[in-house]
Chain A
Amino acid sequence: MTKVLVVTSGKGGVGKTTSTAALGAALAQLGEKVVVIDFDVGLRNLDLVLGAERRVVFDLINVVQGVAKLSQALIRDKRLENLWLLPASQTRDKDALTDEGVRGIIAELRTKFDWILCDSPAGIERGAMLAMRYADEAVIVTNPEVSSVRDSDRIIGMLDSKTVKAEKGERVEKHVLITRYDSARASRGEMLSIDDILEILATPLLGIIPESQDVLRASNVGSPVTLNNAASAPARSYFDAARRLMGETVTMMVPAERKGLMNRLLGRRAA
């Protein structure tokens, strides 16, 4: 059965788009048929992170308005034949996105894919509300930082009240994905720990993505980190998270970046 999953956070810059790309690619690499939808109308970026920015012809709004057929707007990944992208519009007014339109598109995609991943824009405006509207499950991307945790809490409240599932008295299955985690800083008490975050949000953990240079390196070249460097610490964490989404039981690891000898000697760390 198809699962509609929203990747959301409230706060911007915590890694929604990066995580959508990485989870979408990981699911496709594990054999699932996946479509990722960019809901950030006016500020699309999922195409860029997936390296498909020059292949966009039609977009989500074109489909909503009937200018293009869904099949014309879908872009198939060049590396993963199971992965497809429905890009957002870069120029249109975000009010062009309608509840009816989104409902129709999700219904049509449900007949063709195993997973529909909705990359939510930041904030709690129309785009974000429509991205979560038809979700069966939600991944709440959270950084170990006070403003991100506060916004995640707010978004969790909305998932429990503003989605179609919630309105029918059902539950959207929610998972917290902690990104940019630095276990060394957390153990020194400089950063909120995993336990702190989970206790405050009272939501189960999907995975812990370590702070890593591999994430930026992957987005620089337009390739999901699970594809660009599948053996890297963040990629392994995303693969584990994808397996958990598929219902497998995978032991939760707190991943540590393997620091090179030179880095250790120089004592390099983020300011």
Chain B
Amino acid sequence: MGKPTWGKWGTWEETEAFLGKQVGQNTGADDVEKGSIRRWLEPKEFDCPLHYDEEAAKCAGHEGIVAPSTMVFTYGIPAYWQPGDPHAKPGDPPKGIPIPVIFDVPAPCTLSFASDIEVEFFAPMRINDTITCSSRLTDIKHKTLKVGKGAFMCQEDTYTNQAGETVAVSRLTIFRFVPPDKGDE
């Protein structure tokens, strides 16, 4: 299921130079709060009192309302625009979400697709928490697939709160490649 996306161009030597290093860090645009939790539950028709009922959350052993665990991705995303940023110009392309292994790590590839993702959860997200996401490039495995020649690259994202506690760690594997006709080196 290949899908053309973005990707910074560069040589494999340049890609390798990023291995094991932090390739991005973002602090979420919004702190954890009831309004954004409600709007996240709404399209999923997800009725769970842990996420809106203080008493129910306490009865279940929490200090108060907690955000859904998988909402950690949302709380790690920076603003698409914030005060101080330049205003958009007519014809500017839409902005993508920050996936540093695609956006900031150069590779001799034009296309990419995400092959798998896993996420582990640790500390809960409480009201007023601020979530920061640090990304590392942890693995590069060269491979030729039907869709083209490239490499499976693993981005490990560690989400922490303002106290420095780890909230979640996710590992996203992305195959970046060039289609066969352009792949002759």
A and B co-occur in one complex: no
Q: Which residues of A contact B (CB under 8 A)?
A: none
Q: Which residues of B contact A (CB under 8 A)?
A: none
